[in-house]
Chains A and B, each alone.
Chain A
Amino acid sequence: MTTVTAPSPLTAGEKGRAGDKFFSGLTFAAGGLILVVLLFVTVFLVVNAYPALIAGADELPSQTSFFEYVWPLVLGTLLAAGLALLMATPVAIGVALFISHVAPRKLAKPVGYVIDLLAAIPSVVYGAWGMLFLAPLLVPIYDWLHRYLGWIPLFNDPSATGRTILTAAIVLAVMILPIITALSREIFVQTPKLHEEAALALGATRWEMIKMSVLPFARPGVVSAIMLGLGRALGETMAVALVLSSGALTWGLLAEGNNTIPAEIAANFPEASGLRYNELIAAGLALFLITLVVNLAARWIVNRHKEFSGAN
């Protein structure tokens, strides 16, 4: 080492090496910390959930086994989050494409700012908005849907207040819209200019250019963005708790009923004691597992399309 005549300033000298070590130690600690926190959360959940998981049906406060108790909540959570994703994703990708490739620069910037602003609104505000403004507004629409599409079981018995799972899903969709949009926009902008110009040079229209070069390039990133949005929708508590008239599981999207795991925990945790407390923590563990599975699925999708990733 000492005989090297022209060392690069980054590797040369004791001082530089010490800095390197310090830096690598710091990043290692940061990375390790995340794992430790995750481990603690998992241990906390499992330890506190365990009594409810092994308890017999007659011991639990709901007088049913834990799995009977939790599966309507799991389905309700997936239903609300799934509907929200279904509504938010096309709009979010549309808005992101508009900002990155269609809108004139003068318009794109302010629209981008407004979308980012949406992400900064606290969820309790979304909840209050959904409860006091959106739900009453949707009542006539739900009545209309019921009148003309009532033969579909999804649209039976419309609620008189509009506090339904569909309203909750719409609020969730609005909440996750900025997340998906902001991330997708960043990824769309990363598309190599050469790809786009090559497509245009071959005679592609703007839409064909987007379809051929931007979307394939951005697909893994967009999937990640959607999964982040889904994560927020799955875990959203306050907005759902305020907007939804919770109850037992039902397929009627316009009827009161259904509940999500976070809303159930938030509503009952303050007064829970004994096995009920364990039961709620166990419901939290179920949500944790769902989120884990969803994230693994997302990672798998991203890895499958690695060849297009912006990383290489």
Chain B
Amino acid sequence: MKLTRIGQAAAVLSIAALGLTACGGSNNPGTSNSSGAAGSSDAAGASESGAAQVTGTLTGSGASSQQSAMAAWAEGADGIKSVQPDLKVQYSPDGSGAGVKKLIAGQVQFAGSDAALDADEQKQVQTFCGPEGAMNIPVYIAPIAISFKLDGVDSLNLDASTVAKIFTKKITKWNDPAIAALNDGVSLPDKAITVIHRSDESGTTENFAEYLHTAAPEDWTYEPAKAWPSDIQAESAAKTSGVVGLASTTDGAITYADLAAATELSHVSIKVGDEFVAPTEEAASKIVEASKRVESTNANDMAVAIDYANAPAGSYPVTMVSYQIFCQTYKDQNTVDMVKAWGTFVSSQAGQKAAQDEVGSAPLAASISDEAAKAIATITVAK
């Protein structure tokens, strides 16, 4: 009895401590941070020879999906501070749309967005970024897990069409023949499926719908959008934490969420070619590497279009790519230097690893990192 009490108190305290460190992060680098910087003086020295040190503050705004990764990049011991100790980066998670709007208005130096700039936005951003506009650099790849909670079942194999039928409520029972046919030897209960979706508009919903719409167009007839199709009546909750929380307390629930956040749930393996692929970081970066580029007015734009229908073997197709959007030109040299240092670090293998360790995102493939570094190197001062 006493032990459980102590346990509870410890749990509460540790949560409080987490909250405190999370809040303290922005205005106080923290002791672990400074000791990390001191300890890695060799690394700092090495980087000094490679790139000049920059001083100043960068401001960004945009997608909340990047928020935790941002914290790792801007504040973490392995973040930007390990190579550029005097570069401060502030990021406000206002949402993709708001971030792009602020970049267009010139209120921030870069934006984070779950969707690349469209042609219209690319044109608007030219007022602030110069005639060549801005570049979308993929920095954050998050596998979207199709997660479920079903007593006695830990893993499931499904194909796109079955997933679409479940989420459109054409399949309503867990022991439906269509599910059973894909899962030999799994004993499925005669239980109703509770579909849970995001109640707020979200890039996760859009990417998930995009996948179903492309891979199973006959079963998912709705246009992909940030909002859940209103024709499908199902349970919903706000934000990733909301759907994961609701699903983990509801037996028979299925939902879709950022893999890193859905740790309490079991995940569906998706049929790619002839095999079933579980959502993993490696499988997600594989599909991004294999994806084609979107045409853009900016020569260095790296916006990708994931080819869901022809996913290469071993890749996990339900994957969200989030970008940081940088201008091609900035007004002064210091901003250019800061943006270059920041962008190169974030898309580098070291930066990607820092985010992976901290939030479980999928790292960019080395070839994409190299390409991003080349693209960012072209950023110059406006003439």
Contacts and interface: CB of A to CB of B under 8 A. Distances in A.
Nearest to B236: A245
Interface residues of A, number: 27
A242 B194 CA distance: 18
Interface in A184-238: none
Given A160-B235, A246-B236, A256-B235, A270 B250 contact: no
Chain B interface category by residue count: 20 to 34
B192 A160 contact: yes
Interface in B75-99: 94-98
B238 A241 contact: yes
Contacts of B101: 273-274
Interface string B219-234: 0000001111011111
B200 A271 contact: yes
Given A160-B250, A276-B97, A245 B235 contact: yes
Interface in B88-129: 94-98, 100-101
A97 B252 CA distance: 47
Interface in A250-281: 250, 255-257, 259, 267-268, 270-274, 276-277
A271 B63 CA distance: 8
Contacts of B95: 270-273
B98 A271 contact: yes
Contact of A245 (B100, B227, B234): B234
> From DSSP, what is the main secondary structure of chain B's interface residues?
loop
B357 interface: no
B199 interface: yes
B201 interface: yes
Contacts of A273: 95-98, 100-101
A274 B232 CA distance: 26
B373 to A, nearest CB: 30
A248 B232 CA distance: 8
B74 to A, nearest CB: 20
A160 B173 CA distance: 13
Contact of B252 (A160, A247, A248, A255): A160
Nearest to A268: B201
B338 to A, nearest CB: 26
A77 interface: no
A148 B272 CA distance: 46
Interface in A70-99: none
B201 to A, nearest CB: 5
A248 B230 contact: yes
B332 to A, nearest CB: 28
Interface string B249-271: 11011000000000000000000
A263 to B, nearest CB: 8
B64 interface: yes
Contacts of A270: 64, 94-95, 98
B235 A163 contact: yes
Nearest to B238: A267
B304 to A, nearest CB: 21
Contacts of B252: 160
A256 B98 contact: no
A255 B194 CA distance: 12
B238 A247 contact: no
A161 interface: yes
A161 B196 CA distance: 10
A159 B238 CA distance: 17
B246 interface: yes
B236 A247 contact: yes
B97 A159 contact: no
Nearest to A159: B235
Given A161-B235, A256-B233, A270-B94, A246 B100 contact: no
Contact of A160 (B94, B100, B194, B227): B194
A239 to B, nearest CB: 13
B67 to A, nearest CB: 12
Nearest to A241: B238
A304 B233 CA distance: 44
User: Which of B202, B234, B237, B246 gathers the greatest number of chain A CB atoms within 10 Å?
Assistant: B237
21 contacts: A136-B249, A160-B235, A161-B194, A161-B250, A163-B246, A241-B199, A247-B228, A247-B230, A247-B232, A247-B233, A247-B236, A256-B233, A256-B235, A257-B233, A270-B98, A271-B95, A271-B97, A271-B98, A271-B201, A273-B97, A273-B100
Can you list the 6 inter-chain pairs with the closest CB atoms, starting with the nearest? A273-B97, A271-B95, A267-B200, A248-B230, A245-B235, A160-B194
Given A160-B250, A256-B233, A271-B96, 10 more contacts: A61-B227, A159-B235, A245-B236, A248-B231, A248-B233, A267-B199, A271-B94, A273-B95, A274-B101, A277-B97
Interface of A: 61-62, 136, 159-161, 163, 241-242, 245-248, 250, 255-257, 259, 267-268, 270-274, 276-277
